[in-house]
Amino acid sequence: MRLGLHNSVLSAALAALGCGVYANEVPVEQWHLGVNIGYGVMTNPLHGGDDVHLYVVPDVAYYTDTWYLDNNQLGYTFVNQDEHVLSAITEINPETRFFVDWHPSSVFALQQIDSSAPLIAEGPARVRVDDLDKRHWALDAGFEYHYFTSIGQFQAKALADVSDVYRGWRAQASWRWGYRFEQWVLEPNIGVNYSSREQNDYFYGLSREETGGYGAIVVGSSVQPYAKIDVSYLVDEHNALRMHLGYIDYHSQAKASPLFKESSSLTLFIGVKHLF
Amino acid sequence: MMSLAATAVIGSAVIMTAMPALANELLEISPQYCVVENKEQACTTQVNIRWTLPQAIPVCLLENNRTLGCWPAQQQGVWQYKAEVQLPAIYSLTHAHTGELVVDTQLELQTLRSSRRRLRSVWSFF
């Protein structure tokens, strides 16, 4: 679909929404402030972890020619070409999101877990989640690379903990498309996350103290495939209907960690996006 | 938000010769630049095109790959029309019979406000 002056409003709205590869731009040195209002939920795969309810999801970005702040990520772009963009980035580690409302009083059996670290226990070993140490928020820093093509954009990033919380690193590779048909915008995204041994052990492993002396449970490194799709219907220059569906696979960690009750997490959000 | 209807043109006739087949061929286009609000916006403007060839040959004028018109053998030609085109647009003269490229030039894009590709989705955290 070719954009003309008569539908420049659509173009601007699309650009502002950040949807679609054809209009995925924001003006520099100008705040992009939007908010998604509706209802959504991200299921928590952990024992005793509350699902994360989503009512208001802000969308905040500010770009200069080099620096940018975009939804939880601060970056400095030192290569910005038509096809290749390379940035130094820092962002909050997202793994802690499952531990924010982690307040169960239930117990779970360590025996049910296929852990690589054998437990030396004669009876069912049980862990009170209440007794586990708090998982702290971590700040990561690293590099992110984008490769833009006519059929989508490839993204890869690698970050390490710079806050001395889990003392490991993580990586991500993904492919993102953008399809637009009249007012509809579809944006599928598939990718894979890599978690280092240190990250997995900190968040999903158990120390000897936490197991009550049964021995530490290590999870080891793992990969988590994921798939997401974002669907928007552009109503006017400032408003759009929006649906998001996401799936993250935690099969590897769930096999090794007794904290998991599910081997995946689903995110669903339905609502409206308003651009200020 | 600023009005997005702004389209402006810059530059008078600028000559760009490009092709090798014939010497001294000229293809002039005015304006040389079209200013739009953002890169996705099409340029709508009156485009004046003149060409001079070293010898009379039948030619066709193309906007990107779209034929605007063809003319019998002549050394000079003029074409005016209201373009609505996604930029940058390449205007070219080809031999009307053989399709061989004679000369081309480009209507270039200027944006009023610089912008950057957004690198992150609001759902990256979830």
What whole-number percentage of chain A has pLDDT above 70? 80
The pLDDT of B101-106, averaged and rounded, is: 91
How would you class A150 by CB atoms within 10 Å of its CB: exposed for 0-12, middle for 13-18, buried for 19 or more?
exposed
- Quote the pLDDT of residue A221: 94
Question: In terms of residue numbers, what domain contains A99?
Answer: 5-275
* Residues in chain B within 8 Å Cβ distance of A22: 40
What's the pLDDT score for residue B101? 93
The shortest CB-CB distance from A27 to any of B7, B113, B122 is to B113
CATH number at residue A146: 2.40.160.40
Q: Judge: B123–A2 Cβ closer than 8 Å, yes or no.
A: no
Cβ contact, residue pair A75, B39, below 8 Å: no
**Does residue B99 sit within a domain?**
yes
Look up residue A84 and give its DSSP letter.
E
Choosing among B40, B63, B87, B115, which should be mutated to test the A contact, i.e. which has the most A CBs within 10 A? B40
Q: What is the mean pLDDT of residues A11-38?
A: 64
> pLDDT tens, A52-66?
888 998 889 999 989
Q: Could you say which of A8, A22, A75 has the minimum Cβ distance to residue B5?
A: A8
Helix (H, G, I), strand (E, B) or coil at A258: coil
Averaged pLDDT, A68-95: 93
pLDDT recorded at residue A267: 94
In a domain, B96, yes or no: yes
Q: Do B117 and A18 touch (CB under 8 A)?
A: no
Percent above pLDDT 90 for chain B: 34
Best residue in A25, A62, A190, A236 for a mutation probing chain B (most B CBs within 10 Å): A25
Q: What average pLDDT does the structure give for chain A? A: 82
What are the CA-CA distances from residue B67 to residues A87, A100, B32 (Å)? 43, 62, 20
Which residues lie across from B123 on neighbouring strands? none
Please, which residues have CB within 8 angstroms of residue A133's CB and are 6 or more apart in sequence? A207, A209, A210
Q: How far apart are CA B5 and CA A203, in angstroms?
A: 52
Cα A248 to Cα A268: distance, rounded to the nearest angstrom: 12
Spatial CA neighbour of B119 closest among A179, A31, A234, A63? A63
Average the pLDDT over B72-76 and give the result: 90
- The pLDDT tens digits for B15-60 are 333 444 445 678 999 888 888 776 677 888 889 999 999 989 999 9
Q: CA-CA distance, A32 to A63, in Å (whole number)?
A: 9
CATH number at residue B51: 2.60.40
Mean local confidence (pLDDT), A32-48: 90
What sign for the dihedral angle of Cα A125, A131, A137, A141? negative
Task: Provide the sign of the torsion angle of the four alpha carbons A234, A175, A251, A171, taken in this order.
Answer: negative
User: Is B5 a member of any domain?
Assistant: no
Mean pLDDT throughout A117-142? 67
pLDDT over 50 at B6, yes or no? no
Question: Min CA distance, A39 vs chain B (Å)?
Answer: 14
Strands A73-80 and A84-92: antiparallel
Which of A12, A18, A92 lies closest to B121 in CB terms?
A18
C-alpha angle A179-A180-A186 in degrees, rounded to nearest 5:
55
Domain of residue B98 covers 12-29+43-107
Is A7's pLDDT higher than 50?
no
B92 domain-assigned: yes
**Which ipTM value was assigned to this complex?**
0.76
Q: What is the pLDDT of residue B4?
A: 36
CA-CA-CA-CA torsion for A4, A9, A15, A19, nearest 10 degrees? -90
CA A19/CA B68 separation, integer angstroms: 34
Contacts of A18 in chain B (CB under 8 A): 118, 121-122
Q: Which residues is A37 bridged to in the sheet? A: A56, A272
pLDDT at B24: 67
Residue B54 β-bridge partners: none
Among chain B, residues having any CB pair with chain A shorter than 8 Å are: 1, 4-5, 7, 37-42, 44, 84, 86, 113-126
Over range A131-160, report the average pLDDT: 92
Count of the separate structural domains present in chain A: 1
pLDDT class of B116 with cuts at 50, 70, 90: confident
Q: How far is C-alpha A58 from the chain's CA centre?
A: 15
pLDDT band at residue A182 under the 50/70/90 scheme: confident
pLDDT band at A9 (very low <50, low <70, confident <90, very high): very low
Q: Is residue B7 part of a domain?
A: no
Classify residue A154 as exposed, middle or buried by CB count within 10 Å of its CB (0-12, 13-18, 19+).
middle
Total of domains in chain B: 1
Where are any strands of DSSP class E within A112-183? 126-128, 139-149, 152-161, 169-176, 179-181
- Hey, of A10, A14, A24, which one would you mutate to test binding to chain B, going by the most B CBs within 10 A of its CB? A24
Q: What is the mean pLDDT of residues A77-94?
A: 93
